[in-house]
Amino acid sequence: MQVDGAIIKEQNVTFAIVIVKPHVLTNSLECDKMRKAFQPYFPGLPIVLMAQDHNGRPTYQGRKDLVNFLANIDPGRIPWKRFTIN
């Protein structure tokens, strides 16, 4: 399986962002399930989930300080890449 995401280090905090379908962010249980599923692939890193609306605007879900940071930067600055996970 392949997922799009990024690993970011900012202000001595390293964390992962994983792109998910928009419906995932509407359900806290689904968010928890996805975060737990991705945790083995990003061990020890906080995981922020991101989805885009039909206009391409991102919405983030996760640790409040990380979400606030991401909400204030251009998503084009994020070093996105495709991860292959089994």
Whether residue 24 has pLDDT greater than 90: yes
pTM of the model as a whole: 0.92
Tell me which residue has tokens 């975060």: 35
With cut-offs at 50, 70 and 90, classify the pLDDT of residue 20.
very high
- The answer as to whether 1 is a domain residue is no
**Domain interval for residue 37:** 10-84
Structural domains counted in the chain: 1
Buried b (16+ CB within 10 A) or exposed e, 36-50: eebeebbeebbbbbb
- The answer as to whether 5 is a domain residue is no
For 19, other C-beta atoms within 10 Å of its C-beta total 16
- The answer as to whether 26 is a domain residue is yes
- The answer as to whether 65 is a domain residue is yes
pLDDT of residue 44: 94
Inter-residue contact 80 to 58 (CB < 8 Å): no
**Eight-state DSSP code of residue 73:** S
- The answer as to whether 2 is a domain residue is no
Tell me which residue has tokens 């359900």: 27
C-alpha to C-alpha distance for 62 and 49, rounded to whole angstroms: 6
